[in-house]
Amino acid sequence: MMSAIPLRKLGTALALSGLLGACSLIPAYERPAAPTPEAWPTGEAYPAGSAAAARDIGWEHFFLAPELQRLIGMALDNNRDLKAAALRVEAYRARYRIQRADRFPAVDVNAGGTRQRLPADLSSSGEAATTGQYSVGLGIAAYELDFFGRVRSLEAQALEAYLAEEASQRSVRLSLTAEVATAWLNWRSDRALLALTRGTLEAYEASLDLIRQRFAAGAASELELRQAQGAVNSARAEEAQFVRRVAQDANGLQVLIGSPLPEWAAADVPLDADLLAELPVGLPASVLQRRPDVLAAEHRLRSANASIGAARAAFFPAITLTAGAGTASGELSGLFDAGSGTWSFSPQIRLPIFSAGRLAASLDYAELQRDITIAEYEKSIQVAFREVSDGLAARGTFRAQLQAESDLVGTNRRYLELADQRYRVGVDSYLTVLDAQRALFAAQRQLIGSRLAQLSGEISLYKALGGGGWG
C-alpha cells in the first residue's frame, strides 16, 4: 500500500509550486509616447469638421454596392492568405499553451516490471535463480521552481507574440477587404474606359466614313482622310489595351476572392453611383493606437519587454525538482501489500558562475531587441498618421477636382458639337473636329480616372482608420 507520508511530501511539493513566481524581473511596461501630433493636420487641403463626432462603421455598412459586399464576403471565406493568417494565429496559440504548461509540474504515472533469470555461475548463491521487480509510481520530473520568474517571463513573451499574430490576422482581414474593393473598382473603371473607347471609336469611324464620301466627291483632302484614319487606328489600339486590362482585372479579383467570378459580379454599376458611405473625419489621433497593425506592433513590443525578464532571471539560481512516490515489489502479487511503498525526492540547484559573458550578452541582446521594437512601433504610428492625413487631404480636394473635370467634359462636348457644325458647312477644317473629339475623349477618361482615385482614396482612409474599429 502506498505510504501516506510520501503522498504528503509530493502534495507539499505540488502546493509549493503554486506559491512560486511572485518575483518577476520583467521591466515595467510603459507605452511609448506617439511621435505624432495630437490632432489631424489642418489647412487648405483638409476638410472642415474636425469637431465631428466619431462613430463605428463596419465594412458591411461602408461598402454600399450589393455586388461588392458579396465579393468581400466570398474573399473572407475563401482567400488563401487569410486562411494562412488564421492558421498562424492557431500555431502561435498552441505555442503559448506549450509555454504556459511549463508553469505547472507534469505529473506522470509510471508502471513497469522486469523478470530475469540468472545462471548458476552468475548468481551470488551459486544456483540458478529467477527474480522479478514490479513498480507503480506517481511523480514529477525536472520541474523548475520559478522563484525568479523566468518561466513566467517566457509565458508572457509567448502570450504577447500570440496576441500580436492575432492582431496581424485582423490587419490581413482589413487589407483583404480593401484590396477586394479596390480591385473591383479598378475592374469597373477599366470596363467603363473600354465602353468609352468603343463609343469614341464608333464616332471616329462615322467621321471616317463621312470624310471618305467627301474625299470621293472632291470636297475633302487626302490630309483630312489620313487624319481621320489615324484617329480610328489609335482608338482601335486603345480598345485592345482596355480589353486586356479588363481581363487582367478579373483574373486578379478572382485570386482575391479565392474562387471563380460569379456572373452577377459583372453587373454594370456606374462609378458615379453611391458606392461608399461617408466616413467620419473628426477622429482623434489616438485612434491610430487601435489599428490592427499598430496593435500588433505594440504586442511585439510587450513580447520583447517580457524577454528581458527571462534574460535577467538567467543570472539567478535555477532550482528544479524531481519527486515521486509509489509502490514496488519483487512479485506482481505483492505490489500493493503493506510495506511496499517507495518514494524519492531530488531537488537540484544550478547557480551560474562563469559563462564567458553569454548571460550578459543575452541580456544585452534582449534589451536591444526591445529598443528595435520600440523604433518599429513608433514608425508604425508615424506611417498610420501619414496614411490618415493623406486620406483626409484627398477627401478635401477630390470633390473640387471632380466638379472641375465634369465641367470640362461638358465644355468639350459643346466644343465638339460646334466644331462638327462648322466643318459640315465648310467653315473649319476636319482638324478642328478631330481636336475636339480627342479633347472630349481625354476629358472623359480623366474624369473616370479621378473618380476611381477618389473612391480608392476613401477606401485607403477607411483602412488607415482601422476599418471602423475606433469607436
Tell the residue number behind the cell numbers 513497469, with chain if given: 112
Please tell me the distance from the alpha carbon of residue 267 to that of residue 187, in angstroms, as a whole number: 11
- CA 345-348-353 angle, to 5 degrees, is 170
What number of CA atoms fall less than 13 Å from residue 7's CA on the CB side? 7
Find the Cα–Cα–Cα–Cα dihedral 64, 67, 69, 70, rounded to 10°: 160
d(C-alpha 292, C-alpha 469), whole Å: 9
Q: Which cell is 384 given?
A: 498610420
Burial class (CB in 10 A: 0-12, 13-18, 19+), 122: exposed
pLDDT at residue 17, rounded to an integer: 46
Residue in this structure with the C-alpha cell 511530501, named with its chain if needed: 9
The cell for 47 is 476638410
Q: Tally Cβ neighbours within 10 Å of residue 167.
A: 21
400 part of a folded domain: yes
> Can you say how many angstroms the Cα of residue 151 is from the centroid of all Cα atoms in its chain?
30
**Cβ atoms 135, 198 nearer than 8 A:** no
In a domain, 340, yes or no: no
At which residue does the C-alpha cell 471616317 appear?
208
User: Cβ neighbours of residue 190 under 8 Å, at least 6 residues apart?
Assistant: 242, 245, 246, 249
User: Cell for 293?
Assistant: 497593425
Grid cell for residue 356 = 564567458
CA angle at 359 for the pair 357 and 365, rounded to the nearest 5° = 100
For 126-141, the DSSP string reads SS-EEEEEEEEEEEEE
Question: What is the model's pTM?
Answer: 0.82
Is residue 53 in a domain? yes
**What single-letter amino acid sits at 49?**
G
d(CA 414, CA 416): 5
Which H helix or E strand runs over 234? helix 222-257
Query: How many domains is the chain partitioned into structurally?
Result: 1
- Decide if 351 is inside a domain: no
Q: Is residue 423 part of a domain?
A: yes
Give 131's strand partners: 116
Segments of 267-340 assigned E as strands = 318-329
Whether 184 contacts 90, CB under 8 Å:
no
Contact criterion met (CB below 8 Å) for 233 and 200: no
In a domain, 120, yes or no: no
Secondary element (H or E) of residue 348: strand 341-350
Residue span of the structural domain in which 64 resides:
25-105+147-317+358-464
C-alpha cell at 289: 493606437
Q: Which residues of the chain have pLDDT under 50?
A: 1-7, 9-10, 13-14, 17-21, 50-54, 470-471
Is the residue at 447 inside a domain? Answer: yes
CB within 8 A of 255, min separation 6: which ones?
none
Amino acid at 351: L
Q: At 443, which CATH number? A: 1.20.1600.10
Please say whether the beta carbons of 318 and 144 come within 8 A.
yes
13 domain residue, yes or no: no
- Cell numbers of 229, please? 484614319
Q: Which parts of 137-149 fold into alpha helices (H)?
A: none
Handedness of CA 285, 286, 287, 292 (dihedral sign): positive
